[in-house]
Amino acid sequence: MVSVAARIGELIQSLTSGDAQGQVTGTSGLDRLMASGSALARFRGDSGVHVVAEGETLSGIAARLGTTWQTLARINGLTNPDLLQVGQRLQLPEPARIHVVQPGDTVSAIARATGTSVAAIARANGLADPDLIHPGQRLTIGAGAAATPRAPAPADAPATAAQPAGAVPSPGTASIRAADIAADRAAGRQSSSDCYKWVKQALQRSGAVSDYLPGVAAKGAGPALEQRGFVNLLDRPGHNIRSPYDAPKGAVLVYGAAPGATDRNAQYGHIEIRTDGGFASDYVSANARTGSADNGLEGRGRVLIGVYVKADAASATRPAPAATAVGEGAYGAQNLRLGANERYRDAIVEASARTGMAPQTVAAIIDAETLKDRNGVWRNDAAATTSSAVGMTQFLSGTWIGEAQRAGGVLNAEAKALGVVDAENRVVDRAGLLALRTDARLSILAGADYARHNLAQLPVPTGASPAAVAKYAYIAHHEGLGGARGFLSGDMRYLRDATFEANVPARDRQRYLDAAGGSEPLAYRNWLSDYVDRRIDVTRFMNDPAGVNVPAMRSLYR
């Protein structure tokens, strides 16, 4: 007798050949897909069930059927795959189907027609962007399809919580905390089209993830979440989610564009976290982005493509570095005081979340580097008169371009998203890239990331306080990396002949020379140490600085 697997294979082969396609000419792409699915169902047998015979193992059965033992275990709710009994009936996965994309087809429409999900189709076919399919493209459809290998998780990603096969996981403590953080931060705000940024920050601060998620389009968040231990409930049997309102608190909801949408939904999608009273991202609403529960998974030009949850063991294994830096207490965002520069709060908090530096550290660095107007407001258009430095963080043209080309850097990702740097990290619009230095948000993000990159290459002691980190970062900015290393080690040979006169005011030179026994390098080192102490003080950016110790610069290199 020909096996079910063999018959399925024969039919798939025939369906993907020119003859099979010719047999269904005159019908739409989706009609052909449904027809092929029905034909395959006939070849699966009456019930799609395998009866276990003596000596069979789950892995052996899976191999013969062209699937995996994990898939069979999940479908049949097997908590111990090694315990099979003779005569036991195993439900088989739906066979894979091949769909040839036709003009007008969308992944969401194909998913609805076949009873699967956009995320499942994207994963099975390695689609980085489900909206980018083209006529003639061949898509594998069905639960039995072999999954495309996923990218490895970050080295510091927590291990995923163990779940019984077939179980539907629930959000863990960190995810619940992320929902509360998101709701509290966004309360009373209007949408600023920064949903992904705000969700990223909430997840990182809560400890649900250990880094700032990559990417700029919310609709593409799924792979990054899965690499960090989240699972998509819409891909799980028994999830019972008929609309976003069925998602549990702490779940991350990812939306794509409904068929035919051409607005921001089509380009970026949307993301939000389920809260006690509704949904939160860069604003809070009692309503999901698809509208009422009666709309189901689709509405208002959007379709829900993922409900991602992460269980406790996955989120509590290792605390997130940024959650510590931006956590509660003196160095928390709630203790950040900006005064006349309150307008830049969001950018500073975002930079803090992306780099792991406390927001007070970021604010202190910016305050020391930029020009201010008569009211003390940082000038985003600040331009140096003696160099090419421009913007709030005073980037030289060459340094800004270098940061934009540094793969993995914050500015690199932002510049690519804006189209001024291409996928190969080449500048394609030099004037446009340099003009971005006056964008306050980008200047702050790039300045903080540049500081973090420099700090990683300096002998900063483990456990250095955010107050000390601010001073180390400023030295690196003022002296350059090579100069900062020399300054901290006491090897002042990096100085040029005119450095002392160019930096130290004339009224102070003799005093510092006398204190240094006439040594100009030592006099410069002492002067710069005092200058940093005057310029960099994180307590200026705290509502309550009680208990915060700001070390003198000299104590950081002696």
Alpha carbon distance 107, 181 (integer Å): 33
pLDDT greater than 50 at residue 387: yes
Question: Residue 391 corresponds to which tokens in the numbers above?
Answer: 């913007």
**Residue-wise pLDDT tens digits, 3-53:** 444 444 444 444 444 333 333 333 445 555 444 444 333 333 445 788 888
| Domains parsed from the chain with CATH numbers | 4-141 (3.10.350.10), 173-315 (3.90.1720.10), 341-384+435-558 (1.10.530)
Contact yes or no for 438/390 (Cβ under 8 A) = yes
Burial 160-197 (b: 16+ CB within 10 A, else e): bbebebeebbbbbebbbbbbbbbbebbeeeeeeebbbb
Longest C-alpha distance within the chain, in Å? 101
**Residue-wise pLDDT tens digits, 295-323:** 888 887 888 889 999 987 533 333 333 33
Per-residue model confidence (pLDDT) at position 128: 55
Contact yes or no for 381/438 (Cβ under 8 A) = yes
CB neighbour list of residue 544: distance below 8 Å, 6 or more residues apart = 330, 335
Residues in the chain: 558
Type of residue found at 201: Q
Which range has the worst mean pLDDT, 152-161, 275-284, 504-513, 532-541?
A: 152-161
Per-residue model confidence (pLDDT) at position 205: 83
Percent of the chain with pLDDT over 70: 75
Per-residue model confidence (pLDDT) at position 215: 78
Question: Residue 319 corresponds to which tokens in the numbers above?
Answer: 């605390």
Alpha carbon distance 518, 125 (integer Å): 71
Element (H, E) at 140: strand 138-141
CB atoms under 10 Å from CB of 53, counted, come to 11
**Residue-wise pLDDT tens digits, 186-208:** 888 888 888 998 999 899 888 88
Per-residue model confidence (pLDDT) at position 67: 65
pLDDT greater than 70 at residue 357: yes
Q: How far is CA 303 from CA 31, 33, 257, in A?
A: 22, 21, 6
* CA neighbor of 120 nearest in space, from 245, 265, 306: 306
CB neighbour list of residue 457: distance below 8 Å, 6 or more residues apart = 481
Alpha carbon distance 369, 121 (integer Å): 49
Alpha carbon distance 143, 71 (integer Å): 8
Q: Which pairs with CB-CB distance under 8 Å and at least 24 residues apart come from 496-500?
A: 499/524, 500/524
Per-residue model confidence (pLDDT) at position 63: 67
Q: What is the mean pLDDT of residues 401-426?
A: 86
Band of pLDDT at residue 325, cut at 50, 70 and 90: very low
Per-residue model confidence (pLDDT) at position 167: 52
Contact yes or no for 347/366 (Cβ under 8 A) = no
Per-residue model confidence (pLDDT) at position 107: 76
Question: Residue 340 corresponds to which tokens in the numbers above?
Answer: 């006349």
**Residue-wise pLDDT tens digits, 60-102:** 787 676 666 666 776 776 656 667 888 888 887 766 677 888 8
pLDDT greater than 50 at residue 442: yes
Alpha carbon distance 345, 252 (integer Å): 25
Flag whether the pTM goes above 0.75: no
Alpha carbon distance 476, 479 (integer Å): 5
Band of pLDDT at residue 550, cut at 50, 70 and 90: very high
Q: Which residues pair with 252 in a beta bridge?
A: 273, 308
**Residue-wise pLDDT tens digits, 195-254:** 998 999 899 888 888 777 887 888 888 888 988 889 888 867 667 788 899 999 999 999
Type of residue found at 161: A
| Mean residue pLDDT across the chain | 78
Alpha carbon distance 553, 558 (integer Å): 9
What stretches of 2-133 show up as alpha helix (H) in DSSP? 4-15, 18-23, 29-44, 58-65, 69-76, 107-114, 118-125
Q: What is the DSSP string of 80-103?
A: -TT---TT-EEEPPPPPEEEE--T
pLDDT greater than 80 at residue 426: yes
pLDDT greater than 90 at residue 474: yes
Question: Residue 235 corresponds to which tokens in the numbers above?
Answer: 């891909």
Type of residue found at 535: R
**Residue-wise pLDDT tens digits, 157-188:** 444 444 444 455 788 888 998 999 999 888 88
Per-residue model confidence (pLDDT) at position 369: 85
Per-residue model confidence (pLDDT) at position 223: 84
